Amino acid sequence: MPWPELMPGWRGLPAVALLMFCLAALCFPFSVAATNVGLALMLAAGLFSGLWWQGVVSFCHHYRLLFMALFVYLLLVPLGLMWSIDPHWGGRILGRHWFWLTLPVMLVLLTDTKARRLLLATLSLGLTLNLVYCVLQMVGIVDLGGVVAGSTAGNATGRIGHTSFGFIYGIWAAWLLHLGMQKNGWLRSSCWLLAMWALFMVFMAQGKSGYLVAFVAIALVAAKWLRETGNRRVLFGLLALFLLLSLFMATGPGQERLVGTWQGLTNSTPEKMDLEQQIAVSSATARLDWWKMSIAIWKQTPLLGVGTGGFPNAFVDWQLAHSTNADKSVLHLVHPHNQYLLVMVRWGVLGLIFLVALLYFWIRSGFSRSWRLALVQPLVALSGAALLVHGLSSASLEEHFSTIFALVVTAAGLSESMAERA
């Protein structure tokens, strides 16, 4: 039952929770602190009003398999402290997962259609304003002065940074393409223009994982619409968009980054390279080395891993054990820039199985009904697929921006379906 029926007039703590949720969504691209405060106040209001428990029950009832997969995966975080080689750092890792507690409150709040539309409009407004901010950064009007790593005039990603920028805007752009297909006139044009703007900014940035996320998200929308409608004009239109993006990558700033990444992964670097290629080669080569070392560490404890928070110490210990007497310098690394390897090192094979199960049921939940009839539910499949792809080169489920964005849009998508079943 939607919470406005339980709380007539949207009064009291549910109204406070929704207000804090919308403020957090608006501030999301600009301030980590403001977003955290807004979500924390929303969670507090949800706990005291009973919305949190109502959301847990409703989530379990409507999406039992996804609920169980998420519950087991999150349960590994505190359980992994029992055999962690570094429980102190494990406690900090546990604290980073508090965002997941907000999901039940989000689900109940967004079951109401007006609340869901308000939240998505607020989030989209914030993301649009951030695109304006990034344009100002590109032309030199805004200068972050190194406050955000990897966000400069030549890599304008605002305060989000290049790691999560493509993840967020790739999902948002694909959803806008879907939304435009359901609208007509100026609404369709507005959605598609915003989507093109977002994609342009993604491919101007350095986050190469974002390129892949954007391609996968758009391909998912194209395949789903083609399957449900059989309208080849949809396919041709999105294929034209693919070709446009490919041309932009082949001639634009993404060219050197992609070429450098390929050269680094295949160990085929030429003698002369420009700066963009050098950065890309260095990044790809380093990550390849980190992945190899992570696999070697996992092989030492393949079943249960080194426990929650044990990766940094295990990484240092492995280097010390395998370095020469002449060279005992070590690299301190928090995670291997790969969600799957991070989980394997922490919790062994069991952790990997639960992670894959979570992503599988997450994506599957987004296909539970026709997209032609759904405005928001595609966001569930898009965010799940994005997490799957993004996890190949990042700790996608523990990053501030990617995790919060995935939770918000997934809650919106799931709540749309839950409202119709109620």
Question: What pLDDT score was predicted for residue 223?
Answer: 85
pLDDT digits (tens, 9 = 90+) for 307-359: 999 999 999 888 888 776 555 567 788 889 899 999 999 999 999 999 999 99
Distance CA 43, CA 196 (A): 35
Question: What pLDDT score was predicted for residue 6?
Answer: 42
Please, which pLDDT band fits residue 386 given cuts at 50, 70 and 90?
very high
Residues 6+ apart with CB under 8 A from 247: none
pLDDT surpassing 90 at residue 60: yes
Task: Using CB atoms within 10 Å of the CB of residue 47, give its burial: 0 to 12 exposed, 13 to 18 middle, 19+ buried.
Answer: middle
Compute CA distances 116 → 36, 111, 168, 198, 267, whole Å: 20, 7, 19, 22, 49
Distance CA 305, CA 85 (A): 10
Angle between helices 32-49 and 51-62 (to 10 degrees): 90
pLDDT surpassing 60 at residue 30: yes
Distance CA 5, CA 268 (A): 63
Structure tokens at 112: 């109401």
Question: What pLDDT score was predicted for residue 276?
Answer: 59
Whole-model pTM over 0.85: yes
Question: What pLDDT score was predicted for residue 265?
Answer: 56
Please, which pLDDT band fits residue 385 given cuts at 50, 70 and 90?
very high
Question: What pLDDT score was predicted for residue 372?
Answer: 85
H/E run at residue 419: helix 400-421
pLDDT surpassing 60 at residue 399: yes
Helices of type H across 205-253: 208-229, 232-251
pLDDT digits (tens, 9 = 90+) for 205-228: 877 778 889 989 998 998 888 888
Distance CA 150, CA 252 (A): 19
Contact 414, 62 (CB under 8 A): yes
Residue 271: count of CB within 10 angstroms of its CB: 4
Contact 307, 82 (CB under 8 A): yes
374: left (phi over 0), alpha (psi -120 to 50) or beta: beta
Question: What pLDDT score was predicted for residue 9?
Answer: 45
Angle, CA of 361, 366 and 372, to the nearest 5°: 160
pLDDT surpassing 80 at residue 4: no
Contact 383, 171 (CB under 8 A): yes
Q: Which residues pair with 155 in a beta bridge?
A: 152
pLDDT surpassing 50 at residue 92: yes
Contact 380, 414 (CB under 8 A): yes
Question: What pLDDT score was predicted for residue 140?
Answer: 86
The 3-state DSSP composition of the chain as helix, strand, coil percent (nearest 5) reads 75, 0, 25
Contact 390, 419 (CB under 8 A): no
